[in-house]
Structure formats: structure tokens, C-alpha cells
Amino acid sequence: MNHNQQHKVTKSMNTANSNRLKKNCMTYEFELFKLPYAFYALEPNIDALTMELHHDRHLKTYTDNLNATLKPYPELHGWTLERLLCSLHSLPLKIREAVRNNGGGVYNHIYYFSGMCPNDEANKSAHICEPEGSLARKIECVFGGFDEFKKQFKASAIQVFGSGYLWLVANRRGQLKIMETSNQDTPIAQGYCPIICLDLWEHAYYLKHYNDRASYIDDWFNVLNCDFAEKNYECCLAIDNSQTKM
């Protein structure tokens, strides 16, 4: 498979994963999310061992724990991941925290892993936000350009205390916001639509970057999948336009 073919496969898998989330068709029993690229594909920015442990151990544990939590509750087996996370208050008290943590762990990692792509010659365009995209235009308008957005996003990411994520999200009117979530909390539980997701748990970078979070953020930007971000933003706008409740 040459670079172009690989790029097409990666893009179509990203789209499929994104659509799978947007179509709300993920229900119990949740499958382990398949990485749309090889563990080594993000080298040298994100190392293969970090990716393997992050996916095969951390995400697998969240997925297994979510399934184990829901197993005794057949009445919840038809619920999508989004419905579970947006309706935590209506879940049995006994499993509310476990669904919040493990369901959030599954949801957030799908956005994080899908939001990166290999940074090779054939794939260069995938991590440069095209100026004709609606997200690129909005970023220009709100932040004064992609470079300025990166500066603000990095400054916010450095300041996230403890384990959590930094997101670019849209509200129901399509307005952009940089947003922090703690632990495995999700933007959708607070009514925001996710566009870009940065995992700031130390397991995401400690093996390669040690405690140097700033260099991890720089490297992560090198493999940012802007096609995925653009598609997410278009989906956020479509949700808004159709008045569909997320």
C-alpha cells in the first residue's frame, strides 16, 4: 500500500469512526475502538509504545469496565454512549460514577485517537487546516488565525491541573470555545459539541516526554488531524441546524 492509498484508508476510517459516533449507534456491548493507524504511525511525535499501552491497556480497561458495569442492567443495553453520558443523573446511583468515568474514558479516547493522523509526505494536507473549511474560517474569526489558536490552546493546556483533557468545542450556536474537562468528564455532558481533543493525562506522554508537557503539546499539534476536526465542526453545525438534542 503506498502513501496515498494509506492516506485514503486512514481518512475513510476516521470518517467512519466519526460517523459511528454521530449516528449514535454505539451501544452495549461496547467494542474496543480500533485505531485508524498503526501504533508506530505517529512517530517520532508520539512513540509506538505509548500508543500501544494507551490503546491496548488504558482504553481497553475503560471499555471492559464500562461493559462490566452495564452487564447487570439490560434496560440500559440499548442506550448509546452519548445517551448514557448525557443522562448520568437518571442512571442508578450505584453505577453513575462508574459510567461517568469509564464511559467518559471510552468517549474521550475515541476523539483523542481519531484526532491524530500520521504526519508523512503524502499526508501533509491532513494536518494543515485548510483556509476554505468552515472551522478554519471560524478559527480565523475567533482567534485571529490557526497559529494564534495554537498559542492559546497550548497556554491553556499547560495550565490544566491534574488529569484531564483540553478541547475545542462548539456550543449550540456553533460558537467556538477552548474547554477543560477533569478526569474522564466529557463536553457532551455539559451540552458542548467536541471538535478537537487533547489527552493531558500523563499516560499520554510520560514515556517519551517525561514531565515536559509543553513539548508533548507541540508534537501533538504535528499530528493533529484537521480533516477530522473540520468534519466534527460540520457535524456540530448540522446538529445545531436540525435542532437535534445532543
Q: Does 201 bind Mn ion (CB under 5 A)?
A: yes
Which C-beta is closer to Mn ion: that of 107 or that of 143? 107
- Span of 14-22, 83-91, 170-178, 191-199 interacting with Mn ion by CB under 5 A: 191-199
Least Å distance, CB 200 to Mn ion, is 9
Smaller CB distance to Mn ion: residue 48 or 142?
Answer: 48
Sign of CA dihedral 222, 228, 234, 237: negative
Cβ-proximal residue to Mn ion, closest one: 199
Residue 199 in the binding site for Mn ion (CB under 5 A): yes
Q: How far is the CB of 174 from Mn ion (least distance, A)?
A: 28
Nearer to Mn ion, 14 or 184 (CB): 184
Q: Looking at 24-32, 149-157, 176-184, 200-208, which segment touches Mn ion (CB under 5 A)?
A: 200-208
Q: Which is nearer to Mn ion, 113 or 233 (CB)?
A: 113
Shortest distance, CB of residue 127 to Mn ion, whole angstroms? 20
How many chain residues interact with Mn ion (CB under 5 A)? 3
- Comparing CB distances to Mn ion, the nearer of 110 and 126 is 110
Residues in contact with Mn ion by CB under 5 A are 199, 201, 204
